[in-house]
């Protein structure tokens, strides 16, 4: 994969956005509430101006790096020790900017059982999670994965915004469109022979007690190959050795074609969750308030996925929308996934 192409937000647009953010924060908006009031959403001309830079990535590229959206980060306090220990007032301008920009791309949502149903997630290292396969890990690489691959209503686009990253800890990206795999491997991966269960950030919600849906690892979208992959939480529904080897070879192929991107404070990464898998290199956590700190927002902008996904139970995990996002989502929800106000 080639080095990241960075899109810079024009200065005048950034100034207008930051003024709009400051006025909403002054009126009491936080990242998790700003989408609950229609009057807090961005005006049409500013949305149009933003759209020239913060558009969805084209599938052939699969991601977009945007710089210049966020204002000063001086008021942001130390990196919390745990996602739940943040100070929403201190990061309000950053969080509100991220939520408002994400809303221009689709319906912003969270999960009822992940990070207390927040719409803006904290991604930072936490004690006790160092060697887990979740965003709070550190000393082990975070393996290639599709975000929330266990669920049929998973995000179409994943937004990561960098608050701080003093050690330049790298995020990893790889596109299914770049893998060199034997047609026989791809044919096996098109079969619904695995099931992906919720990751450990969701805790125990009875996944083993629910019937297993067969999930295809790759499928043909309208514009090319798409992927659903999370080997850390995958169970095989077959004992065919070649199927297992094909999934392993897919992992090897991601290693060969993937790239490492180091995000700097204020950078926004928009990732196509159907085309790209992502991960993170390992790092030694500091636990002194200066650790790498990203914010994450999930966006639904539905496109074609395998018909069989419409019958999946999603392990009972329910999505959470802001009330305004629900009104604006139109046909966003395709299956299950009750919508609850988050604000
Ligand atoms: Fe992830």
Angle between helices 11-26 and 92-103 (to 10 degrees): 120
Domains along the chain with CATH numbers:
6-172+261-329 (3.60.130.10)
Question: What is the C-alpha separation between 332 and 86, in angstroms, rounded?
Answer: 30
CA of 179 to the centre of ligand 1 (A): 20
pTM for the full predicted model? 0.91
Distance 20 CA to ligand 1 centre (A): 30
Tell me the average pLDDT across 253-279.
Answer: 96
Strand 6-8 versus strand 121-123 pairing type: unpaired
**Angle subtended at Cα 275 by Cα 242 and Cα 32, rounded to the nearest 5 degrees:** 125
Question: pLDDT tens digits for 32-47?
Answer: 999 999 999 999 999 9
Rounded average pLDDT over 324-339: 35
Query: Residues near 101 by Cβ (< 8 Å), separated by ≥ 6?
Result: 17, 50, 54, 69, 159, 268
Q: Per-residue confidence at 329, pLDDT binned at 50, 70, 90?
A: very low
Residue 147 CB contacts under 8 Å (≥ 6 apart), including other chains: 154, 155, 158, 271, 273, 278, 298
Rounded-to-integer distance, Cα 122 and Cα 82, Å: 8
**Distance from Cα 133 to the centre of ligand 1, integer Å:** 9
Average pLDDT in the chain = 89
The mean per-residue pLDDT over the stretch 236-262 comes to: 95
- Residue count (the chain): 343
Q: 44 C-alpha to center of ligand 1: Å?
A: 31
Arithmetic mean of pLDDT, 2-13: 86
DSSP annotation string for 100-111: HHHHTTSEEEEE
> Ligand 1 mean position to 278 CA, how many Å?
6
H or E element, residue 47: helix 44-51
Q: What is the pLDDT of residue 153?
A: 95
What is the average pLDDT across 170-178? 96
């Amino acid at each position: 994969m080639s080095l990241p192409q960075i899109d810079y937000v024009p200065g005048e647009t950034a100034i207008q956005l930051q003024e709009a953010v400051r006025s909403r924060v002054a009126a009491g908006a936080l990242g998790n509430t700003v989408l609950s009031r229609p009057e807090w959403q961005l005006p049409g001309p500013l949305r149009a101006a933003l759209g020239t830079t913060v558009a969805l990535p084209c599938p052939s590229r699969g991601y977009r790096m945007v710089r210049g959206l966020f204002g000063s980060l001086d008021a942001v306090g130390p990196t919390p020790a745990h996602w739940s220990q943040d100070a929403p007032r201190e990061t309000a301008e950053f969080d509100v900017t991220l939520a408002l920009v994400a809303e221009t791309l689709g319906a912003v949502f969270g999960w009822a059982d992940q990070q207390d149903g927040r719409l803006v997630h904290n991604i930072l290292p936490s004690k006790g999670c160092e060697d887990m396969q979740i965003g709070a890990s550190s000393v082990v690489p975070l393996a290639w994965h599709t975000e929330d691959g266990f669920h049929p209503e998973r995000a179409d686009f994943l937004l990561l915004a960098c608050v701080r990253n003093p050690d330049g800890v790298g995020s990893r990206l790889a596109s299914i469109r770049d893998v060199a795999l034997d047609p026989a491997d791809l044919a096996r991966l098109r079969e619904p022979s695995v099931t992906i269960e919720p990751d450990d950030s969701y805790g125990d919600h009875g996944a083993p007690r629910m019937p297993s849906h067969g999930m295809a690892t790759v499928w043909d979208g309208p514009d090319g190959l798409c992927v659903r992959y999370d080997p850390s939480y995958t169970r095989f529904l077959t004992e065919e050795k070649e199927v297992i080897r094909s999934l392993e070879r897919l992992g090897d192929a991601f290693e060969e074609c993937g790239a490492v991107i180091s995000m700097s404070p204020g950078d926004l990464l928009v990732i196509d969750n159907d085309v790209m898998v992502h991960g993170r290199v390992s790092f030694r956590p500091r636990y002194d308030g200066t650790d790498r700190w990203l914010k994450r927002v999930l966006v639904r902008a539905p496109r074609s996925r395998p018909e069989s996904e419409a019958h999946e139970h999603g392990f009972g995990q329910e999505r959470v929308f802001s009330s305004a996002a629900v009104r604006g989502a139109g046909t966003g929800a395709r299956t299950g996934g009750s919508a609850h106000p988050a604000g």
